[in-house]
Homo-oligomer: A and B are copies of this chain.
């Protein structure tokens, strides 16, 4: 896996996005989102998503220009028609509006429909926490997860992220309600490696350790019935507020030709907070269990990896880096 200087890698991605007709400010946001995931070691939400984004723009199911149409349905409730915009562009425009509104209202919510994949939710949660506010973020996806006790994918991976200031830097956690991402299953399949029992069922709904079979099946919810209940509740809440598609009707988060019809939900809280950094210090000082080196704080390993990538360069899978350079080369030739 080559380590690429961050500015060099940025230049390649900027070239690809400019060639796809993405205005510079929007390109910077889309790029920063993808790099943020890549640098934190979440490659499934990183640069490998870029070719699909370019295809979606070319196919007319992603509009690189719009920031979405905002409609304040109540003083604290913003409905956003994403107008097929790029996920991070529409999301950040909504969050900017929420930050301003929450400064007077105390809390403000945005429900987003008709927007493209918004990537790693933790990106937004971290930024809002850096700005000394709280963010609770939700998003839905295509059905990839089986109900606990079921056989078929019926529910999205439906992540939640929470960011808040601690009095000494941000706290951020971000987790899907599936036990693992479908990207992880694909990665095992590509390497010919088995997956642990409990991760997924095959196309007939039976537990499997065969990653190839799991690709045609469904991923398990995390934590059995509890994770199923959470993922389902998030899907119902986010979808019914946005009037978006649900369950197996959701499309456009993985392919390059369907209009994205999932939904996102952001809650911004703007209040004086009592500092909780000392408690995180207490957790760090706890004796680790057997098999663990330390008690970790969610989000901090990713932050360390990101810092290292900024100074030492970012590790990008060969196949991804080659595709990106080819895409940039095509753009350079065609422009």
A-side residues, CB < 8 A to B, are: 73-77, 104-109, 111, 134, 136, 146-152, 154, 160, 162, 164, 166, 171, 173, 175, 179, 201, 205-206, 222-230, 232-234, 236-237, 239-244, 246-247, 267, 269-271, 273-276, 279, 282-283, 286-290, 292, 294-298
Known A227-B223, A276-B240, A286-B150; judge A298-B232 contact (CB<8 A).
Answer: yes
Is there contact, CB below 8 Å, between A295 and B150?
Answer: yes
Known A149-B294, A154-B283, A175-B229; judge A76-B107 contact (CB<8 A).
Answer: yes
- In the docked arrangement, what's the CA distance between A271 and B227, Å? 26
- In the docked arrangement, what's the CA distance between A166 and B233, Å? 11
Tell me which residues across on chain B come within 8 A of A162, comparing CB atoms.
233-234, 236-237
Tell me which residues across on chain B come within 8 A of A171, comparing CB atoms.
233, 236
Is there contact, CB below 8 Å, between B233 and A298?
Answer: yes
- In the docked arrangement, what's the CA distance between A206 and B294, Å? 15
State the Cβ distance, A251 to closest chain B Cβ, in Å. 15
Is there contact, CB below 8 Å, between A106 and B233?
Answer: no
Query: Which residue of chain B lies nearest to A204 when distances are taken between CB atoms in the complex?
Result: B287
A-B pairs with beta carbons under 8 Å apart, 23 shown: A73-B271, A74-B104, A74-B271, A75-B76, A107-B108, A147-B283, A147-B286, A148-B296, A149-B292, A149-B295, A150-B289, A154-B282, A173-B229, A205-B289, A223-B226, A226-B227, A228-B298, A232-B283, A232-B297, A232-B298, A247-B279, A247-B282, A247-B283
Is there contact, CB below 8 Å, between B107 and A74?
Answer: yes
State the Cβ distance, A196 to closest chain B Cβ, in Å. 12
Besides A74-B271, A222-B227, 19 new A-B residue pairs in contact (Cβ under 8 A), listed by A number: A74-B104, A74-B105, A75-B76, A76-B76, A76-B107, A77-B271, A109-B269, A134-B237, A147-B286, A147-B295, A148-B296, A149-B289, A149-B295, A151-B286, A152-B287, A154-B282, A164-B240, A206-B290, A232-B283
State the Cβ distance, A112 to closest chain B Cβ, in Å. 13
- In the docked arrangement, what's the CA distance between A234 and B161, Å? 11
- In the docked arrangement, what's the CA distance between A247 and B283, Å? 9
State the Cβ distance, A138 to closest chain B Cβ, in Å. 10
Tell me which residues across on chain B come within 8 A of A206, comparing CB atoms.
289-290
Tell me which residues across on chain B come within 8 A of A296, comparing CB atoms.
147-149, 225
Tell me which residues across on chain B come within 8 A of A242, comparing CB atoms.
274
State the Cβ distance, A334 to closest chain B Cβ, in Å. 43
